[in-house]
């Protein structure tokens, strides 16, 4: 089938920091913005991907060629603050957005991208771009969309080259809320939507570095009253809520930068013996607090088909991932055990403290989007809380 955009004047550009210019057709919002270009191999869940705060300051290349067929709706957002449009700043598709055909669609993806201020580009060889990222790493770039197709290419090249990138950036403060809130929404049920939790058995304080909604839903669904606090909350402020457990959320940016204020808080919490569970950036924050180190990855892990082995069960799970930094396994100190590892590249995907009810994982067990193989981790957290309560009693 001949695609019309192959003969049209380019209305969007992806300009890499090395001066490479890739032409395509513009979608979504107009303008230009800097970001780090990554690729995501998931086949479904584009709305959840684009609203994941862990993608802040990133431009997501979708390797699946047809995006948009289920449209967009208000139920599939993952960021807590949609008015801030935390999440990806840009999106790249192979083909033009598919006509939506789904009973849950409230509108088309293109209009939704415009409303969120996300700049998108289609009509390029996403396989070639993916290969470029795999061979050269995730490049800094500028994505630009102008309906008239007029660009100052040299200015865009200079802008892409000058942007310092994500290393050294603390993005959690921008991705997270600044108020203390409570969350009581349960997981989605077919033709019923999201229910409300009642009669909670636990109080969990979730430190929001850019958390996803479905993480909070799963904890509420297991009987938790979830109190969400800002990333800068002190240990005293967290403990004032008398938590049965503390959750360290996912989020964007360089963990070492966020750790400047987060690590002292986590270390103070560790001294209290409160059960703790971390995901993604929360995993990295916990590792830093325990004396480990993090490092920038070459191409990162982004997708919903990543194999991870859980050494505590011996099982291999297919999981959802979204991270460009990783914990250096050889940096973990005595008393801290590696629990999960990526079967793609051997990178660390989990840890636990041997003599404390504390553990974390690099992947996204909430499965939004992605497989549900790792849902058990939330029950593992609550089992640790129950065990801790029995010891106190």
pLDDT tens string 307-361? 999 999 999 999 999 999 999 999 999 999 999 999 999 999 999 999 999 999 9
pLDDT tens string 243-283? 999 999 999 999 999 999 999 999 999 999 999 999 999 99
pLDDT at 1: 24
Would you place residue 7 in the very low, low, confident or very high pLDDT band (cuts 50, 70, 90)? low
| Contact of 297 with 326, CB cutoff 8 Å | yes
Mean pLDDT of the chain: 95
pLDDT at 238: 98
Question: Percentage of the chain surpassing pLDDT 70?
Answer: 98
| Contact of 162 with 17, CB cutoff 8 Å | no
Would you place residue 191 in the very low, low, confident or very high pLDDT band (cuts 50, 70, 90)? confident
Average pLDDT over every residue of 68-85: 90
* Residues 359, 339: Cα–Cα separation, whole Å: 9
Which sequence positions are flagged as catalytic? 280, 364, 366
Would you place residue 117 in the very low, low, confident or very high pLDDT band (cuts 50, 70, 90)? very high
Would you place residue 8 in the very low, low, confident or very high pLDDT band (cuts 50, 70, 90)? confident
HEC letters along the chain: CCCHHHCCCCCEEEEECCCCEEEEEEEECCEEEEEEEEEECCCCCHHHHHCCHHHCCEEEEECCCCCCCCCECCCCCCECCHHHCCCCCEEECCCCCCCCCCCCCCECHHHHHHHHCCEEEECCCHHHHHHHHHHHCCCEEEEEECCCCCCCHHHHHHHHHHCCCCCCCCCHHHHCCCCCEEECEEEEECCCEEEECCCCCEEEEEECCCCEHHHHHHHHHCCEEEEEECCCCCHHHHHCCCCCEEEECCCCCCHHHHHHHHHHHHHHHHHHCCCEEEECHHHHHHHHHCCCCEEEEEEEEEEEEEEEEECCCCEEEEEEEEEEEEECHHHCCCCEEEEEEECCCCCEEEEEECCCCEEEECCECCCCCCCCCCCHHHHHHHHHHHHHHHHHC
What's the token pair of residue 140?
Answer: 């800094």
Would you place residue 82 in the very low, low, confident or very high pLDDT band (cuts 50, 70, 90)? confident
Query: Lowest mean pLDDT: which of 63-67, 194-198, 212-216?
Result: 194-198
Domains of the chain: 4-162 (3.50.30.20), 172-392 (3.40.50.880)
Tell me if the pTM is above 0.85: yes
| Adjacent-strand bridge partners of 130 | none
CB atoms within 10 A of CB 127: 13
pLDDT at 34: 98
């Amino acid at each position: 089938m001949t695609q019309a955009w192959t003969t049209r004047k380019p209305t969007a550009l992806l300009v890499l920091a090395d001066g490479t210019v890739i032409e395509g057709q513009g979608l979504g919002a107009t303008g230009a913005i800097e970001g780090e270009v990554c690729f995501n191999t998931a086949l479904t869940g584009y709305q959840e991907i684009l609203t994941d705060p862990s993608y802040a300051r990133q431009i997501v290349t979708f390797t699946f060629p047809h995006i948009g067929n289920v449209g967009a709706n208000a139920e599939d957002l993952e960021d807590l603050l949609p008015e801030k449009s935390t999440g990806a700043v840009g999106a790249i598709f192979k083909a033009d957005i598919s006509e939506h055909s789904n009973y849950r669609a409230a509108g088309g993806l293109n209009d939704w991208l415009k409303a969120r201020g996300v700049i998108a580009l289609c009509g390029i060889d996403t396989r070639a771009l993916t290969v470029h990222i795999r061979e050269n790493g995730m490049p800094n770039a500028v994505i630009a969309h102008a309906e008239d197709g007029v660009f100052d290419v040299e200015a865009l090249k200079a802008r892409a080259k000058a942007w310092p990138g994500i290393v050294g950036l603390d993005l959690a403060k921008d991705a997270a809320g600044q108020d203390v809130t409570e969350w009581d929404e349960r997981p989605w049920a077919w033709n019923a939507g999201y229910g409300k939790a009642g009669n909670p058995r636990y109080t969990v304080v979730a430190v929001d570095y850019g958390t996803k909604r479905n993480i909070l839903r799963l904890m509420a669904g297991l009987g938790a009253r979830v109190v969400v606090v800002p990333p800068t909350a002190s240990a005293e402020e967290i403990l004032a809520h008398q938590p049965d457990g503390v959750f360290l959320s996912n989020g964007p940016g360089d963990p070492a930068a966020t750790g400047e204020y987060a690590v002292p808080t986590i270390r103070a919490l560790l001294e209290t013996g409160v059960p703790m569970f971390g995901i993604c950036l929360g995993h990295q924050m916990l590792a830093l607090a325990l004396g480990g180190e993090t490092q920038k990855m070459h191409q990162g892990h982004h997708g919903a088909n990543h194999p991870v082995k859980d050494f505590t069960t011996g099982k291999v799970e297919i999981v959802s991932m979204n991270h460009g930094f990783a914990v250096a396994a050889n940096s973990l100190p005595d008393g801290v055990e590696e629990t999960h590892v990526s079967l793609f590249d051997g990178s660390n995907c989990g840890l636990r403290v041997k003599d404390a009810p504390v553990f974390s994982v690099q992947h996204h067990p909430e499965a939004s989007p992605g497989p549900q193989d790792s849902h058990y981790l939330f029950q593992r957290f609550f089992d640790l809380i129950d065990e801790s309560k029995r010891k106190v009693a």
